[in-house]
Amino acid sequence: MAIDANLKTRRLGIDTYQELVVYLRSECHVCKSEGFEAQSRIELRRDGKRIVAILNVVHFDLLEIDEIGLSEAAWRALGGIDGDLVQLAHAAPLLSFSGVRAKIYGRPLTADTSRAIVADICAGRYSDIELAAFITACSGGRMDVAETTGLTRAMVAAGQRLHWDDALVVDKHCVGGLPGNRTSLLVVPIVAACGLTIPKTSSRAITSPAGSADAMETLAPVALDVASMRRVVGREGGCIVWGGAVALSPADDLLIRVERPLGLDSDGMLVASVLSKKIAAGSSHVLIDIPVGRTAKVRSAGAGAALAARLAAVGQALGIAVKVVLTDGEQPVGRGIGPALEARDVLAVLQNAPGAPGAPGAPGDLRQRALMLAGAVLEMGGKALPGQGLALASGVLASGAAWRKFQAICEAQGGLREPPCAAHTHVVAALHRGTVVAVDNRGLARVAKLAGAPKAAAAGICFEAPLGTRVEVGQPLFTLHAESPGELAYALAYAESQENLFTIQSA
Amino acid sequence: MAIDANLKTRRLGIDTYQELVVYLRSECHVCKSEGFEAQSRIELRRDGKRIVAILNVVHFDLLEIDEIGLSEAAWRALGGIDGDLVQLAHAAPLLSFSGVRAKIYGRPLTADTSRAIVADICAGRYSDIELAAFITACSGGRMDVAETTGLTRAMVAAGQRLHWDDALVVDKHCVGGLPGNRTSLLVVPIVAACGLTIPKTSSRAITSPAGSADAMETLAPVALDVASMRRVVGREGGCIVWGGAVALSPADDLLIRVERPLGLDSDGMLVASVLSKKIAAGSSHVLIDIPVGRTAKVRSAGAGAALAARLAAVGQALGIAVKVVLTDGEQPVGRGIGPALEARDVLAVLQNAPGAPGAPGAPGDLRQRALMLAGAVLEMGGKALPGQGLALASGVLASGAAWRKFQAICEAQGGLREPPCAAHTHVVAALHRGTVVAVDNRGLARVAKLAGAPKAAAAGICFEAPLGTRVEVGQPLFTLHAESPGELAYALAYAESQENLFTIQSA
């Protein structure tokens, strides 16, 4: 219900990380007459635009008595300029949250409930703690196939949906959890070079040191709008852009802002996140890479199979062909962990860089994984007979056709660029000799994040001692890269406090 | 790890509702060199005091470049004055959250994990979204007796624990969910008048329109420190104070700040909350009232019995005698719903107010419930033989001894005062004639909250048509009370949109 009161907006410049927050003076007549207090949910109206924000009450003269302060996110959502008049209203009660509460108490999430929840999330009506409760309630294996299907469908419906001239549109996705596994940047050019349509939208990192969009961004612009993305795909057959910028499954990006600090990324949410993006992107066939390893996101073949079954079942319910490949997830892929370092590995593979003393060549494991996945996509897309995809992919990479396609895609996206280098590095060496028999993926990912990845694009780890490496005392295990000395020291202190990043067995 | 940088504090006066938030300019050298960004967790040190706060980055000149802004909660936690120099540090990773994550993924909460989580919560290291995840993970019947016992023990250990001269210390508690059920304000004076020690600490409302502390506060000060509370109990044998002010089980109050907006209040959390407060308050014998009704917090006798069993089992494990009474929870108790309106009902009972035309007397249902509970406490405390407690309690109330004791307790707490009256009222009347056969407790509680309760002490509902009432068209069902016209209109709009607040059956 609207209140007969207009307040002047004031952009306060406070970055609350996507949560919409507004600020009112406690003595403000609207606060008093309406009983607004800290954490009240308030609707703002300007020019027919409506947003719902959480109130922080201000006790001093940060604001004039007739002003309403806006956080950066609220400012973006409402639009307008400083001093605009806005009308306030009591926000409607968040009725869809009763569906979250029901889920917490063990009742299933119905399709209608999912639709209402996702619509409210997209309208910015969920506060961060409400998002946290929803994510937690859906984590830990508490979503069945029907619930996941309903949530996925609701997430697709909440955003735009792309359609392509070609009826056959392929895609690939990795569920993550394996540092350095940047195969998308290789699969897209190989597959596109063979004539398939592969409009790849990638996410930024959720809990990892880099997502494909983060790594690609060090090589070319990724925040393309739909029109630009269409132009790139029309010209080159493929693209690698950030999904968040094209408003596909927008709820997913809002959920990520809370999943990331909580470090939660559950099966049901993961399936809904992945498939909603793929369906909204207009894909007909998707290959999904699930790395399995003791310290990967998926820790056992059993868990991998369960996730694969969930993906296939939800895909079938929603009319998209899903093929799942379980891959080895015992150690990081390639050498780089962090956006720019991973991009450098990708360039080395695309350029067929030979090894040389002091200058290691293209990482063989990254190359092999990418070729295997590209081969499978080529088979799904009918460009190779079953069993012949790998050979086709290998030829396209070896001939330089994939590298040419990648350059063309980067140019079409806005121009190929050189990934940044970190200002500060530090080598972490072996303390005793022996053979590397285990690597803690999560620990290394954490070190890379403490060093600044993914926000600091050049930050991360260069991993130099894969499983089976025989190391001498003092031989490098990995090199830390950071953009600031503080982050370098912080990451190093954490790395030195962890005894099991590498398990080295004496001969 | 400390950073070699000092910043000047500045109190910004922003009320973030208990969450500790600090503000830094994005161009600030510390932000840049340390890689701090929105939502980073930062430690502040001043004079050996340390707090951990969440960062909001500020893009404009809200702050000088060498200043750090503090939210009201951060300001209170850190102490000091504007312009103090503080040292910053990267906050240690929140290791205890891995225990929350484990719980989300279905592994039990161990005693050690609970201790670590509760210690971190009390130290202000949990952000609101982490609290929301913890609360959600423990909701919906996901805590067993061992987990609840461990959590209760951890919550007791985190705060101070009172000890009394008397070995026998009684207490009573209602699990809430029934509007107007303000029996504590009657049981305490009756029981204390009989010579038992009953140091009652009450909570403020969590999801209801009023807690006992809210109602009592309209009659006397309740925010007493431990020394004052001891003085009151030493003099009068009993008190009714706000538990939050005496730092008993401080984690509970921090959890409530997130439970309240989420509207979650689960069995395990509820038991830990109630028993940790009672054990910390030094009680040896506790009577617990569980109202059961279709729209109460506990909806069935089965659920009530399960909660009773959980309370008894955890009580036994922790060495406190617990007796549970299931009571009728089909409709509000008394007439008032909201702090001041409930206090008026209590006064009418204590003063044995007779009914008169136009001035209804003491609500009989409130009186009967209080006498029954007081009788049970007197039996637990050995002041009455089994079966004779009710008669003793009735005599103490009828004689005026309970009213004299209540006045003495109020005087000892700082002085008896008159509850406030609301500036705005509106009668909601029956639209057709018939008999009231059902009342929606939750709906009425929501209307009272929308009218401003519990923050607006005079706000709420005066309930005038209990079950069985025969009403004519236009006869009042309830009267809305609000301190502002906006809240009155808002509550009324909601009430009129709800068809089932009262079910009236035509004759």
Q: Using the beta-carbon criterion (under 8 Å), do B258 and A33 form an inter-chain contact?
A: no
pLDDT score of B291? 92
Q: Using the beta-carbon criterion (under 8 Å), do B132 and A130 form an inter-chain contact?
A: yes
> B58 in contact with A at a CB cutoff of 8 Å?
yes
pLDDT score of A290? 94
Cβ pairs A/B, distance under 8 A = 173
| CATH number reported for the structural domain that contains residue A65 in this entry | 2.40.40.20
- Domain stop point among B380, B413, B446: B413
Residue A418 corresponds to which amino acid?
Answer: E
Alpha-carbon distance A473 to nearest alpha carbon in chain B (angstroms): 28
Residues of B in contact with A108 (CB under 8 A): none
pLDDT score of A33? 65
Q: Using the beta-carbon criterion (under 8 Å), do B13 and A136 form an inter-chain contact?
A: no
- Nearest residue to B208 via CA among B181, B185, B177, B182: B177
pLDDT score of A359? 64
Q: Is residue A329 located within the same domain as residue A465?
A: no
| CATH number reported for the structural domain that contains residue B143 in this entry | 1.20.970.10
CA distance B405 to B191: 10
Residues of A in contact with B131 (CB under 8 A): 129
Q: Using the beta-carbon criterion (under 8 Å), do A62 and B485 form an inter-chain contact?
A: no
Name the pLDDT band for B54 (thresholds 50, 70, 90).
Answer: confident
Report whether B373 contacts B367 (CB < 8 A).
Answer: no
Residue carrying structure tokens 């997830």: A329
Percent of chain A at pLDDT > 70 equals: 97
Q: Is residue B145 located within the same domain as residue B57?
A: no
Report whether A190 contacts A383 (CB < 8 A).
Answer: no
Token digits for A329?
């997830």
CA distance B500 to B438: 8
Q: CA nearest B457 in A: which residue?
A: A35
Q: Using the beta-carbon criterion (under 8 Å), do A263 and B97 form an inter-chain contact?
A: yes
Bond into A221 cis (ω within 30): no
- Does the pLDDT of residue A374 top 60, yes or no? yes
| Segment A119-131, tens digit of pLDDT | 999 988 898 899 9
Residues of A in contact with B16 (CB under 8 A): 38, 56
CA angle (B336, B339, B343) in 5-degree steps: 65
- Does the pLDDT of residue A177 top 80, yes or no? no
| CATH number reported for the structural domain that contains residue A468 in this entry | 3.90.1170.30
Q: Using the beta-carbon criterion (under 8 Å), do A494 and B93 form an inter-chain contact?
A: yes
Q: CA nearest B266 in A: which residue?
A: A105
**Cβ neighbours around B498 below 10 Å, total:** 13
Closest CB to B129 among A62, A261, A489: A261
Catalytic hit among B171, B265, B345, B440 = B265
- Please, how many CA atoms are within 13 Å of residue B425, restricted to the half-sphere of its CB? 12
Q: Is residue B278 located within the same domain as residue B403?
A: yes
pLDDT score of B358? 62
Q: Is residue A219 located within the same domain as residue A284?
A: yes
**Cβ neighbours around B413 below 10 Å, total:** 24
Q: Does residue B150 form part of some domain?
A: yes
Task: State the burial class of residue B429 (Cβ atoms within 10 Å of its Cβ: 0-12, 13-18, 19+).
Answer: middle
Q: Is B47 a catalytic residue?
A: no
Q: Structurally, how many domains does chain B consist of? A: 4
CA distance B361 to B347: 10
Residue carrying structure tokens 């003269």: A61
More reliable by pLDDT, A13 or B239: B239
Q: Is residue B223 located within the same domain as residue B318?
A: yes
Closest CB to A490 among B1, B60, B135: B1
CA distance A147 to A154: 11
CA distance A174 to A277: 13
* Buried b / exposed e along A392-419 (16+ C-beta atoms within 10 A): bbbebbeeebbbebbebbbebbeeeeeb
| Segment B356-415, tens digit of pLDDT | 766 678 999 999 999 999 999 999 999 999 999 999 999 999 999 999 999 999 999 999
pLDDT score of B119? 95
Q: Does residue B80 form part of some domain?
A: yes
pLDDT score of B500? 87
Secondary structure of residue A81 in the 3-state scheme:
coil
Ramachandran bin of A196, using left for φ above 0, alpha for ψ from -120 to 50, beta for the remaining angles: beta
pTM for the full model? Answer: 0.81
Closest CB to B14 among A56, A140, A490: A56
Residues of A in contact with B267 (CB under 8 A): none
Name the pLDDT band for A146 (thresholds 50, 70, 90).
Answer: very high
Residues of A in contact with B140 (CB under 8 A): 104-106, 137
Q: Is residue B402 located within the same domain as residue B493?
A: no
Q: Is residue A370 located within the same domain as residue A490?
A: no
Closest CB to A140 among B97, B104, B261: B104
Q: What is the mean pLDDT of chain B?
A: 91
More reliable by pLDDT, A187 or B140: A187
- Domain stop point among B90, B120, B148: B90
| CATH number reported for the structural domain that contains residue A392 in this entry | 3.40.1030.10
Name the pLDDT band for A357 (thresholds 50, 70, 90).
Answer: low
Q: Using the beta-carbon criterion (under 8 Å), do A60 and B104 form an inter-chain contact?
A: no
Q: Does residue B259 form part of some domain?
A: no
pLDDT score of B244? 78
Task: State the burial class of residue A111 (Cβ atoms within 10 Å of its Cβ: 0-12, 13-18, 19+).
Answer: middle
> A227 in contact with B at a CB cutoff of 8 Å?
no
Quick one: angle between helices A364-380 and A339-350, nearest 10?
Answer: 70
Residues of B in contact with A486 (CB under 8 A): 3, 33-35, 90
Lowest mean pLDDT among A257-266, B43-52, B238-247: A257-266
Domain that holds residue A497: 424-505
> B357 in contact with A at a CB cutoff of 8 Å?
no
Q: Is residue B218 located within the same domain as residue B364?
A: yes
| Segment B69-118, tens digit of pLDDT | 999 889 988 888 888 899 888 788 789 999 999 999 899 999 999 999 99
Q: DSSP string spanning B363-416?
A: -HHHHHHHHHHHHHHHHHTTSS-TT-HHHHHHHHHHTTHHHHHHHHHHHHHT--
Q: Is residue B490 located within the same domain as residue B362?
A: no
Q: Using the beta-carbon criterion (under 8 Å), do A261 and B39 form an inter-chain contact?
A: yes
Token digits for B91?
């906050």
Q: Does residue A271 form part of some domain?
A: no
Average pLDDT over residues A263-271: 84
Name the pLDDT band for A29 (thresholds 50, 70, 90).
Answer: confident
ipTM confidence score: 0.79
- Domain stop point among B119, B134, B157: B157
Token digits for B473?
């068209």
Length of chain B, please?
A: 507
Handedness of CA A157, A163, A168, A169 (dihedral sign): negative
Question: What own/partner pairs with CB < 8 Å and gap ≥ 24 does B390-394 have?
Answer: B392/B194, B393/B190
Q: DSSP string spanning A133-152?
A: HHHHHT-SS---HHHHHHHH
Q: Does residue B253 form part of some domain?
A: no
| Segment A229-254, tens digit of pLDDT | 999 999 999 999 998 788 888 898 88
Q: Does residue A322 form part of some domain?
A: yes
Q: How far is CA A318 from CA A154, A193, A284, A386, B406, in A?
A: 11, 29, 10, 25, 66
Q: Using the beta-carbon criterion (under 8 Å), do A15 and B38 form an inter-chain contact?
A: yes
Q: Does residue B257 form part of some domain?
A: no
Q: Is residue A53 located within the same domain as residue A193?
A: no
Q: Is residue B403 located within the same domain as residue B490?
A: no
pLDDT score of A358? 62
> A92 in contact with B at a CB cutoff of 8 Å?
no
- Does the pLDDT of residue B177 top 80, yes or no? no
- Does the pLDDT of residue A1 top 60, yes or no? no
Residues of A in contact with B490 (CB under 8 A): 1, 34, 90
Q: Is residue A214 located within the same domain as residue A189?
A: yes
Q: Does residue A175 form part of some domain?
A: yes
